[in-house]
Homo-oligomer: A and B are copies of this chain.
Amino acid sequence: MQAYSAFIERVKDIHRLGALQGHLGWDQETIMPAKGSEARSDILSWLAAERHTRLVDDEMGRLLTQLEQSSELDDDQQANVREMRRAYDKAIQLPAEFVAAFAKAKSEALLSWQKARAESDFLSFLPQLESLIDMTKRKIAYYGGEKNPYDVLLDEYEVGMKVTDYDPLFAGLRARLVPLLQNITEAQITRPDPTLPEGMRFSIEAQTEFCLKVSEAMGFDFSAGRMDASTHPFSAGLWPGDTRFTTRFDEKDPFSCLYAVMHETGHALYEQGLARIHSLTPRGDAVSLGVHESQSRFWENQIGRTTAFWETALPWFREQFPDAPDWKPEELNRIANTVSKGFIRVEADEVTYNLHVMLRYEIEKKIFNENLPVSDLPATWNAMFEEWFGVQVPNDTMGCLQDIHWSMGAFGYFPTYTLGNLYAAQLLESMQSDLGDIDTLVSSGDWSSLLQWLRPRIHEQGSKMSPAELIEYATGSPPSPEPFLRYVEAKYGSLYGL
Query: A35 CA to B221 CA in the complex, in Å?
Result: 9
Taking the nearest CB of chain B, how far is it from the CB of A245, in angstroms? 12
Residue A189 CB within 8 A of the other chain: no
A24 surroundings in chain B (CB, below 8 A):
23
Residue A31 CB within 8 A of the other chain: yes
Residue A240 CB within 8 A of the other chain: yes
Are A224 and B35 touching (Cβ within 8 A)?
yes
A239 surroundings in chain B (CB, below 8 A):
36, 39-40, 43
Query: A38 CA to B223 CA in the complex, in Å?
Result: 13
Nearest-neighbor residue (CB-CB) of A243 within chain B: B33
Are A240 and B39 touching (Cβ within 8 A)?
yes
Are B241 and A16 touching (Cβ within 8 A)?
no
Query: A38 CA to B242 CA in the complex, in Å?
Result: 10
Nearest-neighbor residue (CB-CB) of A13 within chain B: B46
Residue A101 CB within 8 A of the other chain: no
Residue A135 CB within 8 A of the other chain: no
A27 surroundings in chain B (CB, below 8 A):
23, 27
Nearest-neighbor residue (CB-CB) of A24 within chain B: B23
Residue A359 CB within 8 A of the other chain: no
Query: A356 CA to B221 CA in the complex, in Å?
Result: 41
Are B226 and A38 touching (Cβ within 8 A)?
no
Are A34 and B240 touching (Cβ within 8 A)?
no
Complex partner residue of A33 from B13, B33, B225, CB under 8 angstroms: B225
Query: A240 CA to B221 CA in the complex, in Å?
Result: 34
Residue A20 CB within 8 A of the other chain: yes
Are B40 and A226 touching (Cβ within 8 A)?
no
Query: A153 CA to B133 CA in the complex, in Å?
Result: 54
Residue A346 CB within 8 A of the other chain: no
Query: Which residues of A from 307 to 336 have beta carbons under 8 Å from B?
Result: none
A40 surroundings in chain B (CB, below 8 A):
239, 242
Taking the nearest CB of chain B, how far is it from the CB of A391, in angstroms? 38
Are B19 and A241 touching (Cβ within 8 A)?
no
Interface flags for A269-281 (1: CB within 8 Å of B; 0: not) read: 0000000000100
Interface flags for A10-26 (1: CB within 8 Å of B; 0: not) read: 00010010011001100
Are A37 and B226 touching (Cβ within 8 A)?
no
Residue A222 CB within 8 A of the other chain: yes
Residue A32 CB within 8 A of the other chain: yes
Nearest-neighbor residue (CB-CB) of A43 within chain B: B16
A223 surroundings in chain B (CB, below 8 A):
33-35
Are A279 and B241 touching (Cβ within 8 A)?
no
Complex partner residue of A35 from B35, B46, B241, CB under 8 angstroms: B241
Are B46 and A16 touching (Cβ within 8 A)?
yes
Query: A240 CA to B33 CA in the complex, in Å?
Result: 11
Taking the nearest CB of chain B, how far is it from the CB of A444, in angstroms? 28
Complex partner residue of A241 from B13, B36, B46, CB under 8 angstroms: B36
Q: Which residues of A contact B (CB under 8 A)?
A: 13, 16, 19-20, 23-24, 27, 31-40, 43, 46, 221-226, 238-242, 279
Query: Which 8 A-B residue pairings sit nearest by Cβ, starting from the closest?
Result: A36-B242, A35-B241, A35-B224, A39-B239, A39-B240, A36-B241, A34-B223, A35-B223
20 contacts between A and B (CB under 8 A): A13-B46, A16-B46, A23-B24, A31-B226, A33-B223, A33-B225, A33-B242, A35-B221, A36-B224, A36-B238, A36-B239, A36-B240, A36-B241, A36-B242, A38-B240, A39-B240, A39-B241, A39-B242, A39-B279, A40-B239
